[in-house]
Amino acid sequence: MSAPQIDPRGPRFGAWITTVVLAVVLATGWWPLLAAQTVVFAIGGFLGLQHAPYGLLYRRFVAPRLGPTDEREDAAPPQFAQTVGFVFALVGTVGYLAGLPVLGTVATALALVAAFLNAAFGFCLGCEMYLIIRRFAPATGK
């Protein structure tokens, strides 16, 4: 059975939205928005990209206007990247809630850098982490 394939424009679209959300959080310190982004990351990371809210927006409203593409990529690396984003956003949310705004700010800023790199340059840090881990981790069950 082959791995699910996705349109790579979808994760980049989601990365743009994430970039804006995280920039607003950094500018305002409004942790409820970061908590909402944490949920978005959790859905994409744990339930799959087919359920990711920004991916749903992309498939419903953006992709039909762009037209089809022959370009496809494995869904596993971007899904792993969503899980990494979840961890950073969760740490940031907990930091803000615990009265540790520096922790909240740093975790949010790191997530913002990763989202911006993906949005602007198509460089997905979480995806690269996934590929490195796969290279060094033993293969499981075939």
| Per-residue pLDDT tens over the stretch 25-45 | 999 999 999 999 999 999 999
| 5 contacts 76 by C-beta, under 8 angstroms | no
**Which amino acid belongs to residue 42?**
A
Query: So what's the pLDDT on residue 137?
Result: 87
For range 98-109, the mean pLDDT: 98
| 76 contacts 47 by C-beta, under 8 angstroms | no
| Per-residue pLDDT tens over the stretch 111-125 | 999 999 999 999 999
pTM as predicted: 0.94
Alpha carbon distance 103, 43 (integer Å): 23
Query: So what's the pLDDT on residue 3?
Result: 74
SS3 content of the chain, % helix, strand, coil (to 5): 75, 5, 20
What is the percentage of the chain residues whose pLDDT exceeds 90? 92
Alpha carbon distance 70, 64 (integer Å): 14
